[in-house]
Amino acid sequence: MTRLQTAIPISIEWMDNHIKLLNQQALPHITEYIDLYTLQDVYEAITALKVRGAPAIGITAAFGLAMSAQNYEIDELEAFLVKLQKEKEYLNSSRPTAVNLSWALNRLINSIGNARSVNEAKTDLLHEAIQIQAEDEAMCRQIGENALLLLTPGDSVMTICNAGSIATAKYGTALAPFHLASERGKHFHVYACETRPVLQGARLTAWELQQSGVETTLITDNMAAHTMKTKKIKAVIVGADRIAANGDTANKIGTYGLALIAKSLQIPFYVAAPSSSFDLTLKNGDSIPIEERNLEEVTTLNGTQIAPEGIQVYNPAFDVTSSELITAIITEKGILYPSYTESIKNQLLRY
Ligand code: MRU
């Protein structure tokens, strides 16, 4: 398939009866695509971070549920829906923070509302998953265009984690402007924070930006303040896993710290996210569920133990950046400015 050959890497492909997935755990040393055939394969790929990044998790789960449903040997629509709901809940429990997961799975369930037969429902589910992926690519491209209204090629910009093409259908959110600029022969200088504990910045963002020819400098997370102060960083841009109704944003652990540093140095701090990352059922970020992952992620580096056996470990995978630290939220629908409660209502919900 030629789509996988592009300079901007793509991580998820529907292969008519299974999912072809870029194994993000093997990057950057090994570029391998794995085949997922069952619901369990999909659940395991999400929990083991073979696919990660909020929109990519949602897209993979959508294909996973639609794929599994193709094999139900059930004739009654009602019984079909009961099994579908059960499998949806199972996939939905794979990771708690990114709202795109439940958003995509709910869309799938809603897509069969008018189905008159099990066969029709099976077709509707697949169409919806394909649609979610296509829409995500379009949204990310538009986020990139909108971000380019705030960022100027030639500038040095800092990011954390990987909110890139491989975390979405294509282009990414925070990395979309850099990919689009590259396509047009214009260039940014991206400073990528390595993103301990599982190094999405060092392993994935550094790899992805290299693939598409974006000038990239890798730093460790504790170099962020010094780098912002001394390397003429013009902006920080990050992705999001869940944005509450007041603009509070959950993203990869370390994002909140970057926002505090940026505020102190008067550097603009941007969040880039599609409308599927907003959770307007939450008034603010206090009730966003924060995933805690296993302690080995912290006590080991590349499989080598770096801390004494038995040490206590705290390993939250995300943090919440308060909306007052965010200069603007860049979505496919436009650029939102404070007060976010108002701009989200007026701009995001207008359509
Ligand atoms: O734990 P991860 O790698 O799934 O965390 C990913 C992030 O925090 C991303 O910034 C976010 O999901 C946005 S991806 C466009």
Mean pLDDT by runs of 10 across the 351 residues of the chain is 60 97 97 98 98 98 98 97 98 98 98 97 98 98 98 98 98 98 95 98 98 96 98 98 98 98 98 98 98 98 94 98 98 98 89 56
Instruction: Write the CA distances from 232 to 206, 228, 267, 283, integer angstroms.
Output: 20, 6, 10, 36
187 assigned to some structural domain: yes
Task: Determine the Cα–Cα distance for residues 205 and 46; give it in Å rounded to an integer.
Answer: 19
The response to whether 252 counts as a known ligand-binding position is yes
- Are residue 66 and residue 186 in the same domain, yes or no? no
Q: List the domain range (segments joined by +) for residue 180.
A: 142-350
Cα torsion at 73, 77, 81, 82 (round to 10°)? -80
| Residue 53 marked as a ligand binder | yes
Residue 295 to residue 282: CA distance in whole angstroms: 29
In terms of domains, do 233 and 329 share one? yes
The verdict on 130 and 226 lying in the same domain is no
Structural domain contains residue 6: no
pLDDT at 3: 37
How far is ligand 1, taken at its centre, from the CA of residue 238, in Å?
A: 9
Q: Can you tell me which residue has the tokens 């491989």?
A: 166
Q: How far is CA 2 from CA 6, 7, 183, 228, 282, in A?
A: 7, 11, 18, 39, 41
Identify whether 2 is part of a domain.
no
- The answer to whether the CB of 173 is under 6 A from ligand 1 is yes
Q: Distance between CA atoms of 310 and 80, rounded to whole angstroms?
A: 47
Compute the radius of gyration of the chain from its Cα atoms. 20
> Can you tell me the ipTM of this complex?
0.99
Q: Is 327 among the domain residues?
A: yes
Q: Is the CB of 166 under 6 A from ligand 1?
A: no
Indicate whether residue 11 lines ligand 1 (CB < 6 A).
no
pLDDT of res. 236: 99
155 catalytic? Reply is no
Whether residue 257 is found in the same domain as residue 182: yes
Structure token pair of residue 3: 């789509």
Pocket test residue of 52, 95, 103, 195 for ligand 1, highest count of atoms within 8 A of CB: 52
In a domain, 7, yes or no: no
In this structure, are 159 and 133 located in the same domain? no
Which ligand 1 atom sits closest to the C-alpha of 273? 15
Q: Does residue 219 share a domain with residue 195?
A: yes
**Is the domain of 147 the same as that of 135?**
no
Q: How many domains does the chain have?
A: 2
Choosing from 12, 170, 241 the residue with most ligand 1 atoms within 8 A of its CB, the one to mutate for a pocket test is 241
Residue where one domain finishes, among candidates 140, 164, 186: 140
Q: Beta strands 249-252 and 242-244: pairing type?
A: antiparallel
CA of 197 to the centre of ligand 1 (A): 13
Q: Which of 203, 207, 212, 206 is nearest to 177 (CA)?
A: 212
* pLDDT for res 247: 98
Q: Which of 140, 155, 179 is the last residue of a domain?
A: 140
Q: Please classify residue 2 by burial: count the beta carbons closer than 10 Å to its beta carbon, then call 0-12 exposed, 13-18 middle and 19+ buried.
A: exposed
Catalytic residue (one of 241, 248, 279, 319): 241
- Residue 101 CA, ligand 1 centroid: distance in Å: 12
Shared domain for 96 and 199, answered yes or no, is no
- The answer to whether residue 4 sits within a structural domain is no
Nearest alpha-carbon partner for 211 in 157, 164, 243: 164
C-alpha distances in Å from residue 221, one per residue of 146, 184, 202, 225, 253: 27, 30, 10, 9, 10
- Same domain flag for 126 and 169: no
Kind of pairing between the strands at 300-301 and 304-305: antiparallel
Residues 340 and 195 occupy one common structural domain: yes
State the pLDDT at residue 6. 44
Clarify whether residues 97 and 154 are in a common domain. Answer: no
* Helix H or strand E encompassing 299: helix 296-299
Of the candidates 108, 123, 140, which is a domain's last residue?
A: 140
* Residue 5 falls inside a structural domain: no
State the CATH number of the domain containing residue 198.
Answer: 3.40.50.10470
Is residue 248 one of the residues assigned to a domain?
yes
Phi, psi of 124 (to 5 degrees): -60, -40
pLDDT of residue 351: 56
> Do residues 132 and 169 both lie within one domain?
no
Which residues lie below 8 Å from residue 82, measured CB to CB, with a gap of 6+?
Answer: none
Nearest to 162 by CA among 216, 82, 88: 216
| CATH number (domain holding residue 23) | 1.20.120.420
